[in-house]
Amino acid sequence: MTTMGIDPAQLSDDDLVRELRQLHTTRSDTFFHGSDDALEHHTSRTNELEAEYLRRCPDREVDPARLREGARQRS
């Protein structure tokens, strides 16, 4: 299956982040109210963009509070 949109490798860093933020914003609405086709496209495009982001930023900053140890400390 192919998704619509610009090849993620062709996006600038700013455009890639903007596209990812938009997809994450619309995920819940697509999941609960979108057609099966819309959900499939949304998932595929999200996967493409996330893979490209991780390729570009393998050493991205990870918030220690988002790790298991951080969760245990909050408990």
Nearest residue to 42 via CA among 20, 72, 16: 20
Q: Average pLDDT for residues 6-15, to the nearest whole number?
A: 97
For residue 45, the model assigns a pLDDT of 96
* Dihedral sign for Cα atoms in the order 28, 30, 35, 36: negative
For residue 8, the model assigns a pLDDT of 97
pLDDT of 1 above 60:
no
User: pLDDT tens digits, residue range 33-75?
Assistant: 999 999 999 999 999 999 999 999 999 999 988 888 766 666 6
For residue 68, the model assigns a pLDDT of 81
Phi/psi for 60 (5° steps) reads -55, 155
Phi/psi for 67 (5° steps) reads -95, 165
For residue 11, the model assigns a pLDDT of 97
